[in-house]
Structure 1
C-alpha cells in the first residue's frame, strides 16, 4: 500500500493489527498502533481490542492493562473483546484485584447502542484463574457463584482453576466437592483437576484421601502421571506411611513411568520416618539403577536411617558415594561419630 503511495487508513491499520494479534506479534501491533496515534488516524474500540489482545497473547500483560486504562481518556467505550483481553492480561500478571475490578466495572457499563456488557465464560475463567494464582480461594468461589447465577455452565478450565485454588488454600474437602460437581455436570475430571485435588489432600495431611484419588484415577481415568504419584508420595512422607510409599513406587514403575528425584526423595523420607533403613537403602540403589542422581538431602536421610539401624558399614559406603558426588558433608559427620 505504501509502495503504491496510498495512505493507510483506519481500516487498513486495524486489519494489520488484527493480523499481528492472530500471529502473536505484540511488538509489531504496538508499533502500528503508535503510528496511528502519531498520524492522527481515528482509532475505534475494535482497534483497541485487537492491540490489547495482541499484548495479552504475547505476555505483555502490563502494556495490555495500560492500553485498556487509556480508553476512557480517548473517549472510547471498551467492548466485550477489550474487557476479555484485559482480564486475561490481569490473570497472566497475577493482578486478581484488578481483574475483579474490571468485572464489577463491566456490570455498570453499557456498550455502544446502550446494551449491557455481560461477562462471558472466558472472562469468568480468567478472573477465577487470577484468584487461583494468588491463593484467593474465597474470591474464586464467589466468582463461581456469580457464574452460576448468570446461568453459565462451567467447563474443564473453570473446574481446573477452582480445584487448584482450593489446593492453594488447603481446602481439601472443597476440592473434592468440586471434583464431584464436575461429574454431576457430565465432565469427567481431567489430570490437572485430579492432581490439584491430590495436592490439596497432601497439603492437609489427608494421605488416605490422596491415595484414594490415585486409585480412582487408575480405575476410572485419567491415568495417573508422575505429578499424581509425586503428590501422593509427598502425602505419605508427611505422615511416615512408608508401606504405602513403597506400594506407590512399585505402581509408578509398573505404569512405565520413570521416578524422578522428588519421587525417590519422598519415598525414602517416608521409609526413614517409619524406621525402615532396608527400604531406604533399596530405594537408593534403585535411584542409581534409574540414573537418577541423589542430592545431599537423600544421602543424609539414608545415612540417618542406617545410623538408627546400626548399619555403620552402609554409612561408610554412603560416605564414599557422597564424596565421589561432592555431597559428603552430612554423611561424613555421621561416619565420624
Structure 2
C-alpha cells in the first residue's frame, strides 16, 4: 500500500494515496473554468484520516485493479482561475438521505480506521452537516475536535457550499476559522485560498454586504491578494453595476505587481459588454492581441496555453460585439450608424459574426431606420454562400417595405427565386403588399405608366396581379384621363382571367366619360348590368354625368329615381357631376335647374356646387344670374374661390351687366395650395423611383402589352 502524508503546511501540501476497493464510489471531475485542459477523472471515495498530528487523505477507487500510485496534489490544492470540483455521483445537499443511508454510502459517517487510532472523516458529510449552520457556534458543534484538519479541506467545503449559494453557512464557517486562528494553540491560520473562496461565494450568491469586511480582514492579517482576488473583485463590481470601478481595478493590477490572466481580460470585455460599448471592447481586444503577438504577454514561463486562450478570447469578443449591436438595435435610440461602424471595425480586426448571429441581428431590425443595417447583414449572409433562413429573408422584405425601399425588397425576392430558399406564401403576400402600396401611390397620383410597369414586373417575377392591382392601374388611368389606356388595361385584365369588379367598371366608365366616349360608356354600362354587377354610387354618378353631357336629362332624371329605388341615395357629388357636365357644355339653364333640384332631394350644396354653377352660367352668357348665385353662396358663409369671383366680374364686364361689386365682399385671397406643391414633389420622387417620365407622354400601346421577349 502506498501512502503520502499531508503535513500541516497549507502552502505546500504533500499527499499520500491509499488505494483499496469499495462498493460505493463518488466520481470527481476537475476542470478549468477559463483555460481548456484535459479532464482527469477519478472514481472513488475521498476520506481524511487523522492520527496523532498526522493527516492522511485516502482515496478509494471503484476497482481494485487500480493499484498504481498517481499524483493527486491537484485534488485538494488551491485552484487557479475558474478551477472547481464537480461531484457527479452524490450532491452535498442530498436531504433525502438519512443517517443509515449515509453510513452505507460513506456520506456523513465518521468511523475508526483499522490501523491504530486513525479517524476517517468524510469531507462531504461535514459539508452536508454545515448546511444549517448560521453562526460560528453552530460550526463548532459540527467541527469540534477537528480543527487539525488541513485548510484545503475547509477550502473544499467553502467551495461546495458556495456553489449552492449557502452564504450563511459559508460565513459561519469563515467566522469559526477566524476565531480559531486567534487561539494560540490552534494550527489554523487563514490563508489566501480561504479568503478567495469566501469572496467567490459572495460573488456567486450576489451577496456583497460583507465584501469590505473580508477585504479588511485580509489587510489586517497581512494577506496579499493575488490575481484570483482581483478577478473576483472585478466580477463583484460588475454584478453591482459598477463596471467603471471594475475597469479601474484592472488598470491598477500592474502597479500592484499582478499580471492579468486570460480570465482578467475576459472580465474586462464583459464589463464593456455591460456598458454597451462595443468600440472600446473591440479596441481592448486588438490591443492585447498585439501585445501577445509581440511577446509582451503570454511568455514561455506562463502556465497558460495562450494560443488556445486567445482563440477563446476571440470568440468571446465576437460574442460581445454581437450582443452590444443587438442591444443598440432593440433600444429606443436610433443607433443604426453605430452598428454599421462597429461591423466595419470588426472587419478591420479580422472578426466576423457567425451566420446565426447575423440572422439574429436581422430579426432585431424592426424600425424603418434599421433598413440599412438589415440590408448590410443580409448581404453578408449571402456572401458567405451559407444557407439562409426563409423567415429571415421574409423579415428583410418586410423591413424594406416598411422603410419604403420597394426595389430593395424586390431584390431580396429575386434572390429567393434565383438563389433560394424557395419563397413561400408569406414571401408572396409581403411582396404583393409592397406592389399594392406602389400601385396605390400610382392610383392617387394618376401615374398610370408606373402602375402598368409594376404589373409587368409582377408577372415577370411570377406574381399574378389580382383585381385589386388591376383596379389601381385603371383608376390611375381614369385620373390621368387616359381613356385609350384604360380600355386596353381593362381588356388585358379580362384576357388574364381576372373578373372585373364594380371598381373596374367604374374606373373604365369614368375614363370613357372624360374622353366623351358616351356611346362606349353606355355599352359598358349595359354589359355591367347584364353580367350581374350591381352599380354603386360612383357608377350611377358617372352615368348621370355621361347623359348630362349628351343633354339627355330625362335619362338623368330616371337614373336619380332608380338610385332612390335601390337605396343608393344621390349625394352632393352626384349633383356636382351633373352641374359640372353642364358647365363643360355651356348649359347654364340646365345647370341651374339641377341646382334647384338639390332642394327637392334634400341635398345641401357646397363650395364646389356654387363654383361649378357660376362657371356654367357665365359660360352660357348669364352673368347676372351668376352674380346672384355668388351673393347667395357668400351670404351663406361659404368660402368661394377667387376663380369664381373673377369669373363673375369678367362676365359682367363682357356682357355689360350691372352688379354691386361691394356686395360681393373683398376679393378672396388666392391661396397657395401647399398640398398641391407637396404632391408635385412626391410625384417627382415617385417618378424618379419608378423610372418614369415626370411629364406626360403620348400613350403607347407597347406600354400595356409586354413584348414576347419581355414575357
What's the TM-score once normalised by structure 1's chain length? Answer: 0.62
CA 48–231 in structure 1, closer or farther in 2 if over 3 Å, else same: farther
C-alpha displacement of 1:99: 4.2
Match of residue 176 from structure 1: 490
What's the TM-score once normalised by structure 2's chain length? Answer: 0.33
- Do the aligned residues in 2 keep the contact of 1:84 with 1:123 (CA within 8 Å)? yes
Match of residue 195 from structure 1: 506
1:69 counterpart = 2:372: no
Match of residue 8 from structure 1: none
- Do the aligned residues in 2 keep the contact of 1:64 with 1:86 (CA within 8 Å)? no
C-alpha displacement of 1:267: 0.7
Match of residue 414 from structure 2: 104
Match for residue 330 of structure 2 among 11, 26, 34:
34
Deviation per CA, 1:94-153: give whole Å up to 9, x if none. Answer: 654334433333334333xxxx44786425533542442343134223224325xx4x65
1:125 counterpart = 2:436: no
1:269 counterpart = 2:580: yes
Distance, in Å, in 1 between the alignment partners of 2:518 and 2:612 is 21
CA 232–306 in structure 1, closer or farther in 2 if over 3 Å, else same: same
Distance, in Å, in 1 between the alignment partners of 2:532 and 2:544 is 19
SS in 2 for 1:280: helix
How do 1:20-169 residues align onto structure 2 when only pairs under 5 Å count?
Answer: 34=330, 45=359, 48=362, 62-63=368-369, 65-66=371-372, 68-72=374-378, 75=381, 79-84=389-394, 86-87=396-397, 95-111=405-421, 116-117=422-423, 121-123=428-430, 125-132=432-439, 133-134=441-442, 135=447, 136-146=450-460, 150=462, 155-161=466-472, 163-164=474-475, 167=478
Which protein has the bigger helix share? 1
Q: Structure 2 unaligned segments of length 5 or more: list them.
A: 1-325, 340-352, 660-711
CA 285–82 in structure 1, closer or farther in 2 if over 3 Å, else same: farther
Structure showing greater relative contact order (alpha-carbon pairs closer than 8 Å, 6 or more residues apart): 1
1:226 counterpart = 2:537: yes
Distance, in Å, in 1 between the alignment partners of 2:437 and 2:575 is 33
1:243 counterpart = 2:557: no
Distance, in Å, in 1 between the alignment partners of 2:540 and 2:398 is 31
C-alpha displacement of 1:280: 1.2
Distance, in Å, in 2 between the alignment partners of 1:153 and 1:264 is 39
Deviation per CA, 1:39-79: give whole Å up to 9, x if none. Answer: x9x76858956x77xx6xxxx6x357456424326748764
Higher mean alpha-carbon deviation, 62-71 vs 266-275, is at 62-71
C-alpha displacement of 1:284: 1.1
Q: Structure 1 unaligned segments of length 5 or more: list them.
A: 1-29
Query: Paired residues, what number?
Result: 285
CA 221–32 in structure 1, closer or farther in 2 if over 3 Å, else same: farther
Distance, in Å, in 2 between the alignment partners of 1:194 and 1:92 is 32
Distance, in Å, in 2 between the alignment partners of 1:299 and 1:332 is 12
CA 66–193 in structure 1, closer or farther in 2 if over 3 Å, else same: farther
Which protein has the bigger strand share? 2
- Do the aligned residues in 1 keep the contact of 2:580 with 2:616 (CA within 8 Å)? no
SS in 2 for 1:194: helix
C-alpha displacement of 1:268: 0.3
Distance, in Å, in 1 between the alignment partners of 2:378 and 2:372 is 11
Please tell me the root mean square deviation across aligned C-alpha atoms, in Å. Answer: 4.5
